[in-house]
Amino acid sequence: MLLYWIILPIVWVLARFVWRIEVVGIEHYKAVRDGRALVIASNHIANLDPVFIAIAVMDWRRMCVLAKEELFVNPFIGWFLRCMGAVAIDRGKGDTTTIDKVTGACRKGTAVLIFPEGTRTKNGKLGILKSGAFVIAASAGADMLPCRIIYNTKDGKLHLFCRIRVVFGPAIPAEELQITDTTHRVTALRHMKSRLKTALETLLEENAFHPGQLPAAQVPAAEPKVLDAKQQSDL
C-alpha cells in the first residue's frame, strides 16, 4: 500500500504530461464510494485503461483491478500492476479462487474495477458483455458504476499525446443487481447486461469527441439541403 501512495502521484503527473486527460462525472464516483461495496464496470481499449481510471478518481484507497494473467509475464510490468492493485485472473478456466478473493475484498469496501467485455476491443466500440462483473456485484452486495474511456483518435485507440475522456455515469444500485429468483438467472443477467450496455453507450453518445466514435445507429443524419428558388427552377 505504501508503494501505491508513492507511485500514484508519479503516474498522475507522467500521464497528464503525455496525454490530455479529462474526467467527467466524478461526482457519481464520490456519491457511492464512501464505505460502500462498489464495482466499476468499464469498457476496455488499451492496457493502460486501469491506470487512467485510477488517476481519474485519484483515491488514496487502492482499488482492486481484475487483469488478465498474460499481463504479469513481464516481471516489471507485473510488479507495477500489483502496486496499482491489479489481481491476475486466469480467463476462461473458471478461476473461482480469484473471484472469491475479489468478491470478499469488495464486500469489505474495496472498490473493484472490472472490464465486463473480458478483453480489449480493436476498434474502440463496445464488445459483448460477460457475466463476471454482475456475479461479483451481486455476491458482494455492491453498486455498479458505469465508466466509459474515450480516446480522441481516428481509430478509437490510445496514441501518444491524444485527448482522453474518462466518464462516469450514475450508479446502478446494489439491490437492482440481486438475482432473487434463481430459476430466471439467465434472464436476469441478460437484463443487467442490457442495462449496463445502454448506460455505457449513453456515456459515449453524450461525451464523444466526434460522430465517428458513435455506433452507426447513433450517428446524426445529415440535415436535408434546402434549395433556393433559382436552384429549384433549374431542376
**Do 142 and 39 form a contact (C-beta atoms < 8 A)?**
yes
Tens digit of pLDDT for each residue in 32-50?
987 689 999 999 999 999 9
- pLDDT, mean of residues 188-215: 92
What local confidence, expressed as pLDDT, does residue 169 receive? 98
Give residue 217's pLDDT: 59
How sure is the predictor about 229, in pLDDT bands with cuts at 50, 70 and 90? low
Mean pLDDT for 132-157 is 95
Work out the average pLDDT over 53-60.
94
Kindly tell me if the per-residue pLDDT of 91 is higher than 90: no
- Is the Cα dihedral 126, 131, 132, 135 positive or negative? positive
Is pLDDT above 50 for 212?
Answer: yes
Work out the pLDDT band at 94, boundaries 50, 70, 90: low
pLDDT at 215: 73
Distance, C-alpha 199 to centroid of its chain = 11
How far does Cα 178 stand from its chain's mean position?
21
CATH topology of domain 2-234: Glycerol-3-phosphate (1)-acyltransferase (3.40.1130)
Of the candidate ranges 15-24, 45-54, 56-65, 206-215, the one whose mean pLDDT is the lowest: 206-215
The pLDDT of residue 235 is 43
Query: Would you say 216 and 125 are in contact if contact means Cβ atoms under 8 Å apart?
Result: no
- Determine contact, residues 166/52, Cβ cutoff 8 Å: yes
Cell of 170: 450514475
pLDDT tens string 97-144: 889 999 999 999 999 999 999 889 887 889 999 999 999 999 999 999
What average pLDDT does the segment 148-167 reach?
95
Sheet with 86-89: strands ordered across: 20-24, 163-168, 143-151, 38-42, 112-114, 64-68, 86-89
Mean pLDDT of 43-65: 94
- For the chain, give the number of residues: 235
For residue 183, what pLDDT is reported?
78
Domain boundaries, the chain: 2-234
Confidence band of 210 (pLDDT split at 50, 70, 90): confident
Residues of the chain above pLDDT 90, percent: 67
C-alpha cell at position 143: 453498486
